[in-house]
Amino acid sequence: MYIYLFLLNFQRKYSYSLQAKKKLSLIFLCVIFGIVLIDLCQKSISAVTIYVITPTFYRISQKPDLVRLCNTFKLVDNMHWIVVEDSLVRTAVPSTHLNAASPKDRKKYHIKGSNQRNAGIEWLRKHRVSRYHKGVVYFADDDNTYDPRLFNEMRTLNMGATWPVGIVGGSSWEAPDDPNRIIGFWTGYKPFRRFPIDMAAFAINLDLLFIYPNASFDYKHVEQQEGALLSQLGFKSAMDLEPRAEGCSKVGFRRIFSRGAHFLPSCELFS
């Protein structure tokens, strides 16, 4: 009788122990699966290539402007820099150097950089790695400063995104009014435009350049080149863009004015 009770008690303890082990094993597998899933998501985001198109032209401040921009881009992973015009500094950033002439009568239209940006767009259309390759396209002028964290913000966009910009349009900053969804913009220049944003205030999904193969910049829409392109890419207004930079509460870009600075006549000591 005692032997029977001992065996019964042992069987129950062993059964409970086995069930506990199964539960612990299941919990352990769930934790491992969660860690792997998070790691895969992070790798998927970092796998998105950011293509930065920078139009540039010769001026006395061109080289220092490009050096400053290059130093920022070296802090950003998985980026390809497309510099379009006549000068490219030595850089560790993966880059492509293109040339595109501006119209001879460009002063008539008061528009700069459209042909250069279009050359960058066409290069992307001709050199896509595969239809499954994920990318983001951003237009970064060489006379601006950029926070490297801004580029991580744009990696997760769906179709197009926007964020605040600083020292632009005669204002210390420009941004959407509401942090949760875009219902209007605070801007000092023509606030009633369909796209009241700066060239550096938006980025787009690379896929859009293939969905809309004829979308490009032009020399017709003076001071409205942003809207001229975005409207061809399926956006009805800037309200269709996704707010980034913590609900458009952080400024990740600021304009500087080296192009407009006055320099004394001098010779170049180093080329």
Q: Is position 42 within any domain?
A: no
CA distance 40 to 227: 36
Q: What is the pTM of this model?
A: 0.74
Q: Which two tokens stand for residue 214?
A: 């004829």
Place of tokens 């942090």: 179
The predicted model gives 45-66 an average pLDDT of 85
Q: Which two tokens stand for residue 191?
A: 């606030």
DSSP classification of residue 200: G
User: How confident is residue 146, by pLDDT bands cut at 50, 70 and 90?
Assistant: confident
> Is 163 within 8 Å of 200 (Cβ atoms)?
no
Catalytic one of 226, 242, 246, 268: 226
HSE of 267 in the Cβ direction (CA atoms, 13 Å)?
A: 1
Q: Is position 262 within any domain?
A: no
Q: Is position 9 within any domain?
A: no
Q: Is position 206 within any domain?
A: yes
Q: Is position 267 within any domain?
A: no
* Most distant CA pair in the chain, distance: 111
Q: Is 226 a catalytic residue?
A: yes
Backbone φ, ψ for residue 36 (5° rounding) = -65, -40
Residue 213: the pLDDT is 96
| Residue 201: exposure state from Cβ atoms within 10 A (0-12, 13-18, ≥19) | buried
In 3-state terms, the chain is what percent helix, strand and coil (to 5)? 40, 20, 45
> Is 119 within 8 Å of 100 (Cβ atoms)?
yes
| Count of domains for the chain | 1
Q: What is the CATH classification number for the domain harbouring 186? A: 3.90.550.10
Q: Which of 79-88, 190-199, 243-252: highest mean pLDDT?
A: 190-199
List, in sequence order, every residue forming a beta bridge with 254; answer none if it has no partner: 145, 166
Q: Is position 57 within any domain?
A: yes
> Side by side, which strands form the sheet with 165-168?
144-146, 253-255, 165-168, 171-176, 185-186
Q: Is position 210 within any domain?
A: yes
| Residue 224: exposure state from Cβ atoms within 10 A (0-12, 13-18, ≥19) | middle
| Strand, helix or coil for residue 141 | coil
Tens digits of per-residue pLDDT, 57-112?
888 888 888 888 999 999 999 999 999 975 455 566 788 888 888 877 756 667 78
Total residues belonging to the chain:
271
Q: Is position 231 within any domain?
A: yes
Burial 156-191 (b: 16+ CB within 10 A, else e): ebeebbbbbbbbbbeeebbbbeeeeebeebebeeee
Q: Which H or E run includes 138?
A: strand 135-139
Residue 103: the pLDDT is 79
Tens digits of per-residue pLDDT, 164-184?
887 666 666 676 666 666 766
What range defines the domain where residue 184 resides?
47-255
Going by C-alpha positions, the residue among 50, 73, 41, 81 that lies closest to residue 204 is: 50
| Residue 143: exposure state from Cβ atoms within 10 A (0-12, 13-18, ≥19) | buried
State the binding site for Mn(2+). 143
